[in-house]
Amino acid sequence: MKSPFASLKLIAFAILLAGSITNAPAIAIRNATGVIIEVDYLSGIVSRVDQSGHGFTVTWKGKGMLKMERYWPSYQEDYQVTDSTVYKNGSWANMQKGSHVRIAGHSYVATFVEFTTRIAGKATGAADEHRATGNRLFNSTAEAQNAISYFDRGFAKQKKGDLDGAMADYNQAVKFNPKYSNAYNNRGNVKLTKGDLNGALADYNQAIKSNPKSALAYNNLGNVKLRMGDLNGALADLNQAIEHNPQYGLAYRNRGNAKQKKGDLDGAIADFNRAIKLGVTTN
């Protein structure tokens, strides 16, 4: 029987109150009282697979995430995968009911899928990855892991304020994985912080090209256009961010700012109200 919370959507990322540009995605789930509980990953058993639609469901049994155990004895969530999804110890071809997986991602999109046990009676690993040539994203599993490692180190450097070091690591991440949407997004954030608006614009566009459903990248792209004075372009991108994630409070706030600059005060107030309802303030 499905949990009463099975139909809840994932929040795109941990909401940041202090800025308009967001960084690495996190999984955030609303508990029974509406409070957002942020987790780094979900682990569980695959209970549904749609190979043609690149969708699957993970059923979590309450192991490994104590914060969630306070609210659910079990949990079920749906995910989609894209061309930029990273796989460890397997590939999309390995995804089937009964597989044990560990998922990291945001906004209903799995950005990282790790197969944690044997699949279909055989061990998974680099050899299986190479055999699944039609679904492989990298030349080797090592390249996939290198991309993730550089991304993680770059994000840590970014949080420390080492922008040049972060930039160098994000450059390496996209070198190993040219479709790494989140790496382009974060590199765009670094460029924006350094004042390179055009460079940030290019990276956010590349992030969207790699993941056309990335609400995160659309929000950041819209915010850059807002700063550059392209109000119509900003509104179009922020509309896309909200379309892909209707619970994205930060995108409503940014869209409210764009509407306010265009003189649409009623529209701005409506968006700010929505942002406040979702837990994002307007200042």
Instruction: Output the tens digit of pLDDT for each of the chain's 283 residues.
Output: 444 433 333 333 333 323 444 444 556 555 555 555 556 677 788 889 988 888 898 887 544 444 444 445 456 778 888 877 888 878 888 888 888 888 887 757 888 888 886 443 333 332 232 222 222 233 345 566 678 888 889 989 999 999 999 999 999 999 888 888 889 999 999 999 999 999 999 999 999 998 888 888 999 999 999 999 999 999 999 999 999 888 888 999 999 999 999 999 999 999 999 999 888 755 4
Residue 156 falls inside a structural domain: no
Residue 154 falls inside a structural domain: no
Q: Which of 137, 170, 202 is the last residue of a domain?
A: 137
Q: What is the CA radius of gyration of the chain?
A: 19
**CA distances from residue 161 to 10, 24, 150 in whole angstroms, order as listed:** 29, 15, 16
CATH number of the domain to which 45 belongs: 2.40.50.320
Mark whether 110 and 6 lie in a shared domain.
Answer: yes
Question: Taking a C-beta distance cutoff of 8 angstroms, is the pair 11, 30 a contact?
Answer: yes
Mark whether 113 and 214 lie in a shared domain.
Answer: no
Helix (H, G, I), strand (E, B) or coil at 273: helix
Residue 111: φ, ψ to 5°? -90, -20
Mark whether 77 and 196 lie in a shared domain.
Answer: no
Mark whether 128 and 204 lie in a shared domain.
Answer: no
Question: Taking a C-beta distance cutoff of 8 angstroms, is the pair 45, 63 a contact?
Answer: no
Mark whether 71 and 2 lie in a shared domain.
Answer: yes
Residue 151 falls inside a structural domain: no
Please give the pLDDT value at position 186.
93
Mark whether 1 and 102 lie in a shared domain.
Answer: yes
Q: Per the structure block, which two tokens stand in for 66?
A: 């104590």
Mark whether 1 and 131 lie in a shared domain.
Answer: yes
Mark whether 1 and 66 lie in a shared domain.
Answer: yes
> Which helix (H) or strand (E) is 156 found in, with range?
helix 141-160
CATH number of the domain to which 200 belongs: 1.25.40.10
How many domains does the chain contain in total?
Answer: 2
Burial of 9 (0-12, 13-18, 19+ CB in 10 A): middle
246: Cβ contacts below 8 Å, ≥ 6 apart = 9
Please give the pLDDT value at position 36.
55
Q: Per the structure block, which two tokens stand in for 236?
A: 């179009």
Mark whether 115 and 196 lie in a shared domain.
Answer: no
Question: Taking a C-beta distance cutoff of 8 angstroms, is the pair 221, 208 a contact?
Answer: yes
For residue 3, give its domain range.
1-137
